[in-house]
Amino acid sequence: MKTAIVIGGNFAGMTAALELKRKGKDRYRVLVVDKSPLFLFIPSLIWVPFGRREIKDISFRKDEILRKKGVEFLQAEALEVDADNNKLITTKGEFTYDHLVIATGPKVQFDVAPGVEEHAYYIGTPNGAMKTRKALEDFKQNPGPIVIGATQNAGCMGAAYEFLFNIEKWLREQNIRKKVDLYWITPETYLGHFGIDGITGGETMLKSFMKMFNIHYRTEVAVKEVKPDGVVLSTGEVLPSAFTMLMPPFIGVDLVTNSKSIKANPSGYVPVGEDYRHVSIPNVWAAGIAVEVKLPFTPGKVPFSTPKTGYPSDETGKIVAENIIRVDKGIEKLKKKSWGSIPGLCIMDAGKKEVIIISDKLFKPRNFAIMIPNVIFDFSKILFEKYFLWKTRHGYSRLP
C-alpha cells in the first residue's frame, strides 16, 4: 500500500485526497494534514460583513467527511518537508510518504505597505470578515469616505471588486449612500484586467458600473501607506477614508519557504510542470494556490499578479490524483493542463446583481470569452454556492 500525504484540506487538497482514494481504493493510504477540521467556502466570505451569510452557513467539518470516504485526517500544523528522505514534520510527529501533495493555500502579505495590517480591513478569512462586519456597524453611526481595492502585487482583484459593489449596495440600503464618497484603487492597467489580461467588453462594462454607481476609481496605483484616516497612493494623492478594505498580495506559506528541499520560487510557490509534478522531485506534487503560475501578461507601471481561484484549484487537485495513480501504474503519459489552459468559470457578485464570466481558457490566447451581466439578482452565485457546498459535504469529488 502506498502512502500519500496531502497538506491542506480546502478546495485543492480535499479534492485531491478524495479523488486519490476513490480511484486508488485500497492501494493507497491517504492522509490529509491541516490545522483546521473545517472546510470553508471562501467565495462567500464577501457576504459575511453584510450579514447575508454567517460563517456556519459556509463551513462544515471536513474530517468526518474524509473519514467516511476512507481518508485519514490529522489536525496538525505541517512544519517542514524533508523531500530528500520522504518525510513530513508536523506538530504531532513525523510521517513518511510515497507521494506528497502540497495544497496549502496562501499566506497574506500584510506588510506590503505600512499601515495595511493596522488600518485596513481584510475579508479573506472568517476572522477578517467578522471584524469588517463590526467595523461597518460602527461606520453607519458616523459615515465618511470609503476606499476599497487591491495593493501592488495583489492577484485577487475579483473579490475586491465584489466587495466594492456589495458595499455600494449596502450603503444604499442603509440610506447613507449620499454621505459617502466611494473610491476604488487597483494596480491593474485597466478596469477588469483581473490579472488575466481582461475579457472582451470587461473594461467597458466596469467603467459603466463605476459611472452608474458614482464610484471614483484609480488604476495603475500602488499603496504607499494606509493611515487611520486615509490612503496614500504611489502617485502622491491622498484619499481620505473612514473605512478601508484592501486585498494584499498572496505569497507561499511558511511550510514551503522553510522547506529548503522543496526549492520554492522567490514568492514561496512550488515549481511544477503542466502535470503539477515538482520539476525536480518526482514524488512531490502541488495543487491550488501553492502552484507557481507564470504571469500571462506584461506588467504595467505597478506590479500585480494573476488570480488563483476555486475552480482551477479543484481541477488541479483532480489532475494530481490522476497523475499519482498513473505514475504508480507505470504509465509514462501524464495528464497535462497548464493553469492558464483551464477554462475560466467565475461569477462575480455585484451587490445582489452578478456578472457571469466564461472562457475556454483562463489565459490568452482564447477561442471565446464572454461576460454576461445579470442585473436582476445574484441567483447564479447563490446556486453555485449551494451546489458546491452540497457536493463537498457528500464527498462527491468526481463532480465538476
Q: Last residue of some domain: 223, 249, 275?
A: 249
For residues 10 and 130, membership in a common domain is answered with no
Q: Does a structural domain hold residue 312? A: yes
The count of structural domains within the chain is 2
Retrieve residue 52's grid coordinates: 447575508
For residues 297 and 239, membership in a common domain is answered with no
Q: Does a structural domain hold residue 186? A: yes
Q: Does a structural domain hold residue 361? A: no
Q: Provide φ and ψ at 234, rounded to 5°.
A: -65, -20
Q: Does a structural domain hold residue 399? A: no
For residues 94 and 226, membership in a common domain is answered with no
CATH number at residue 239: 3.50.50.60
For residues 28 and 142, membership in a common domain is answered with no
Residue 182: domain span: 109-249
* Residues 281, 171: Cα–Cα separation, whole Å: 52
For residues 196 and 286, membership in a common domain is answered with no
Q: Does a structural domain hold residue 129? A: yes
For residues 123 and 197, membership in a common domain is answered with yes
Q: Last residue of some domain: 182, 217, 249?
A: 249
How long a stretch of residues is the chain? 400
Q: Does a structural domain hold residue 278? A: yes
For residues 90 and 136, membership in a common domain is answered with no
- Give the DSSP per-residue string, 145-203: -EEEEE-TT---HHHHHHHHHHHHHHHHHTT-GGG--EEEE--SSSTT-TTTT--TTHH
Contact 103, 16 (CB under 8 A): yes
Retrieve residue 168's grid coordinates: 455600494
List per-residue pLDDT tens for the chain, 400 residues long: 999 999 999 999 999 999 999 999 999 999 999 999 999 999 999 999 999 999 999 999 999 999 999 999 999 999 999 999 999 999 999 999 999 999 998 999 999 999 999 999 999 999 999 999 999 999 999 999 999 999 999 999 999 999 999 999 999 999 999 999 999 999 999 999 999 999 988 999 999 999 999 999 999 999 999 999 999 999 999 999 999 999 999 999 999 999 999 999 999 999 999 999 999 999 999 999 999 999 999 889 999 999 998 899 999 999 999 999 999 999 999 999 999 999 998 999 999 899 999 999 999 999 999 888 887 888 999 999 999 999 999 999 999 8
